[in-house]
Amino acid sequence: MKDVIWLIKNLFKVTFKDKKKLFFTVGLPIIGILVSILIYGGSNTSTLHVGIVNHDHSMISSNTVKFIKGLDHVQVKEIKAADVEDKVSSGQLDCVVTFDKGYTQSIQNGHPDHVNIVSIKGATVTGFVKSYLNQYIDNINDLSLAGKGDQETFHRLYTDYQQAPFKMTTGTLNDTSKNNDMTYQAIGFLLMFMLIAAGNLSSMITQEKEGRTYFRLLSTPIDSKKYVLSNIITNLLIMIGQIIVTLIFMTKVFHIQLSMPVWEMFVTLILFALVAVGLSLAVIAFATSSAAGNAMLNLIVTPSCLLSGCFFPSGIMPETVQKIAHFLPQTWLLDTIDKLQQGQHFSQVYLNIFILLAFACAFFLIAVYKFGRNNNVNNFI
């Protein structure tokens, strides 16, 4: 073990004497946090951009639109049906409410229907509009039921309802969705930088082979297993440092609320650190040179981060791509964090944790198998 500690100390020295490596390891995740603050920053009160497509063109549907317009922090824009997908996927609108023909009729019949909400931002956005809209539609529906199918009675009741004053008590709840988005984005960046850092450290194995120091190391009482083990431990320690620095900056410097206990976030990210080290080792084991290793890592890291939603929510991707993302560890890590932020207990995300561990095990097994087959000193003398 003394040998391994000696090797770890040297790896730390070699890694952090290079200021560029230090910046890549610690500086970039902090820049990632800053970027996510810039994206999601600004005042705490956010305005919800809602698109309306009204195919019903009735008084009730027009009044419903007016009701939505009257909600606090909601900006409404009437759009054409053909523009829905475009406006939502480009982020110009947070959601679109569509009133299909027959909306008024369905309310008058006592079975409200023909209204749809489309969003890629999930329940955090649609929930707000939906809850107000449900309440409003339920009220009109009650009037319809009270009118017992008589149109005249319904219209009289509806006009009275429109004009009647009512008392409303309001309370304020913190909107955590924005913080969650910021955390999600910052963690997305952190995942990418963790993968890059793991790749850089693992590629030191090939660099040492090329620089012949590996050859010299093996001529000392150190064997290749101890050497690779020390690389793994160093890699993990550096990543733990990276996680700690990022979490400190997120919570203490930039005051981003994680919406989950810090220790849960820490443990989850450590799991991903294992995946990152395993993946980088598996890739390096296949690489014939450090340049090839770095190229392979770049080819894997950036697209997989993109597909799994490290840079923006994967919901805007086509369904097929979203299915592919299920084969990426980042997807499971982000999903774990999302679930924990929504209040699930750590024990309830055991499947995600198991999947992340399975990814790590699979990568390590591939690396061990490949290293075992090509770790012949004859390859680099």
Nearer to another protein, 173 or 381 (CB): 381
22 binds another protein per the rule CB under 8 A = no
Nearer to another protein, 207 or 259 (CB): 207
Output Rg (C-alpha) for the chain, integer angstroms.
28
Amino acid symbol at 236 = L
375 binds another protein per the rule CB under 8 A = no
Candidate ranges 60-68, 96-104, 207-215, 356-364; the one touching another protein (CB under 8 A)? 207-215
The DSSP code for 114 is S
Minimal distance, residue 9 CB to another protein, in Å: 8
379 binds another protein per the rule CB under 8 A = no
Return d(Cα 72, Cα 68) in angstroms, integer.
9
Helix, strand, or coil here: 48? strand
Q: Which of 211, 261, 303, 315 binds another protein (CB under 8 A)?
A: 211
Q: Which of 18, 78, 85, 150 binds another protein (CB under 8 A)?
A: 18
Segment 214-273, which members bind another protein (CB under 8 A)? Answer: 215-222
Task: Please give the structure tokens belonging to residue 120.
Answer: 């890629």
Return d(Cα 307, Cα 319) in angstroms, integer.
11
Minimal distance, residue 216 CB to another protein, in Å: 4
10 binds another protein per the rule CB under 8 A = yes
Minimal distance, residue 371 CB to another protein, in Å: 16
Return d(Cα 197, Cα 203) in angstroms, integer.
10
372 binds another protein per the rule CB under 8 A = no
17 binds another protein per the rule CB under 8 A = yes
How many residues line the site for another protein (CB under 8 A)? 23
45 binds another protein per the rule CB under 8 A = no
Candidate ranges 3-11, 126-134, 234-242, 260-268; the one touching another protein (CB under 8 A)? 3-11
Going through the chain in order, the beta strands assigned E by DSSP cover 48-54, 74-78, 95-99, 115-118
Return d(Cα 134, Cα 258) in angstroms, integer.
30
Q: Which of 73, 212, 225, 326 binds another protein (CB under 8 A)?
A: 212
Q: 61-66: list long-range contacts, CB under 8 Å, 24+ apart.
A: 61/99, 61/103, 61/104, 63/162, 64/99, 64/103, 64/133, 64/136, 64/137, 65/99
Nearer to another protein, 86 or 210 (CB): 210
Helix, strand, or coil here: 11? helix
20 binds another protein per the rule CB under 8 A = no
Task: Please give the structure tokens belonging to residue 74.
Answer: 């909601």
Candidate ranges 12-20, 74-82, 175-183, 336-344; the one touching another protein (CB under 8 A)? 12-20
Return d(Cα 48, Cα 29) in angstroms, integer.
29
Contacts to another protein by CB under 8 A? 2-3, 6-7, 10, 13-14, 17-18, 211-213, 215-222, 377-378, 381
